[in-house]
Amino acid sequence: MLDHSSRPLSPSNIPMDALSEVLQDFRLSGVNYGRCELRHPWSIAFPQQQLLRFHFVSQGPCWIHTEAQGWQELNDGDLVLLPQGIAHRLASAPDVEGDSLKSCQITRLGSNVCEVVREGTGATSTLFCGSMALSAYALNPLIALMPPIIKGCDVAGNDPIVGPLLTAMTAEASQPQMGSATVLSRMADLLAARLIRCWVNCSGASTTGWLAAIRDPHIGRVLAAMHRDPGHNWTLESLAAVAGQSRSIFAERFSAILGEGAARYLGRLRMQLARELLGQSGMSVAEVASRLGYESEASFARAFKRITSVSPGIVRRTSSRRMDMNFGF
C-alpha cells in the first residue's frame, strides 16, 4: 500500500454513518436519454452494457423481457431500473420479434438527448429511456448486490416521494414542452437515486457481505474511507485507527464480514477503479498509477496483472473504442 496522498485522514473526520456517505456520493455521468414514440408492433433489443439503465412508460402498450424473469407487462407510469445493464428487450407485445430500431427516425435534441419515432397505424407507446454510468465508484459493490431488475411500483410504498415523482414524469412526458427532456432527465436522476436507497433500506440485515460491512459502525467507517480515497497510503495500522479498534480485532472483524483481508479488498478496489479510469477517462497508465498511489508504472502494472490477469495497456487499448450508447438510450 504505497503512499499517494498527503491529505490527513483520521478517525475524527470519518463520519459514523458510512452508508449515508456512500449514498450521498451518488452521481450519474455519461447520461443519455431517449424519448420514444413507437407505433405497434415494435420490438427493441438492448444488449448487455456496463451501464445502469432505466425505462419509464408514460403510455403503453409495453412489455419487458429478461432471461431470468421472462416477459413482464409494464403499465402506464411504471419505471424499471436495471442496475447492472443486463441484456433485455422491450416490445409492444411478447410475440413481436425483430429489431424495430432500424425503422425508427432518430433526432438528436442535444448532446445527450434524442427523440425516437416509429410511424405506423397501431397503438402508440410513449417511453422515456436512459443509460448512465455511476461516477461514484464507491457504489460499485452496492450495485453488484442489487437484483438485475427493479420496478419502481414495487418499492413506491416504501418511499413517499417515488409515487409523486412517477406521476410528475407521466405528466411531463405526455405533454412535452420546451425543456421537457431536461426536466425528465433530472427527475430520472432523482428516481434512480431514491430507488437504490429504498432497496438498501428494505434489504435484509445480513451478518456478512458488503451491506453488512458498510452498516457495521467500525468496518463501515473503514470502507467509506477507502472508497473515498483508494490512493491513500493505507496500512493495517491506519485502517484500524479509522475503525477505532486494535490491529488484531480490526483484521479479524474485517475478514469475518467481507470474507477477505483489508489489503486484498483495497487492491481489488484500486484495480476496479483503474479499469474505469483506463477505459473511460482517457488517462494514461502512468497517470492512473500515480492517482492510485503507486510509486511507478511498473509496480502498478504488476499489481494490475496479478489481480485482473491482463495488462493495463491491453485494457486501455480495447476500451478506447467507446461503447455504443444505443442512440441515447
Radius of gyration over alpha carbons of the chain, in Å?
Answer: 22
Residue 112 near residue 31, CB atoms below 8 Å: yes
Instruction: Using a cut of 0.85, tell me whether the model's pTM lies above it.
Output: no
Identify the CATH number of the domain defined by range 27-202.
Answer: 2.60.120.10
**What is the residue whose three cell numbers read 484495480?**
271
Closest CA to 98 of 80, 118, 79, 81: 118
**For range 64-80, the mean pLDDT:** 92
pLDDT in tens, 151-181: 877 766 678 888 888 888 778 776 767 777 6
Alpha helices in 229-261 (DSSP H): 236-243, 247-258
pLDDT at 1: 43
| Mean pLDDT on 190-200 | 77
Q: Look up residue 170 and give its three cell numbers.
A: 407521466
**55 Cβ neighbours under 8 A, 6+ residues apart:** 62, 64, 74, 79, 80, 90, 127, 128, 129, 130
**32 or 53, greater pLDDT:** 53
Residue ranges of domains in the chain: 11-16+217-319, 27-202
**CATH class, 11-16+217-319 region:** mainly alpha
Average pLDDT of every residue of the chain: 81
- Which carries the bigger pLDDT value, residue 193 or residue 319? 193
Whether the link from the prior residue into 61 is cis, omega within 30° of 0, is yes
At 120 the three-state DSSP class reads: coil
**What was the pLDDT predicted at 260?**
94
According to the per-residue pLDDT averaged within each range, which of 13-17, 100-104, 140-144, 183-187 is highest? 100-104
Distance CA 174, CA 126 (A): 8
Place of cell 438528436: 108
> pLDDT digit string (tens) for 266-319?
998 899 888 878 876 668 899 999 999 898 999 999 999 999 888 888 887 776
Coil, strand or helix at 306: helix
Q: Which CA distances in Å does 279 have to 50, 273, 313, 321? A: 11, 10, 10, 9
pLDDT in tens, 225-263: 888 888 999 999 999 999 999 999 999 999 999 999 999
Same fold, 11-16+217-319 and 27-202: no
Lowest mean pLDDT among 74-78, 119-123, 165-169: 165-169
Summarised one tens digit per residue, pLDDT across range 125-143 is: 999 888 876 655 556 777 7
User: Which residues is 82 bridged to in the sheet?
Assistant: 53
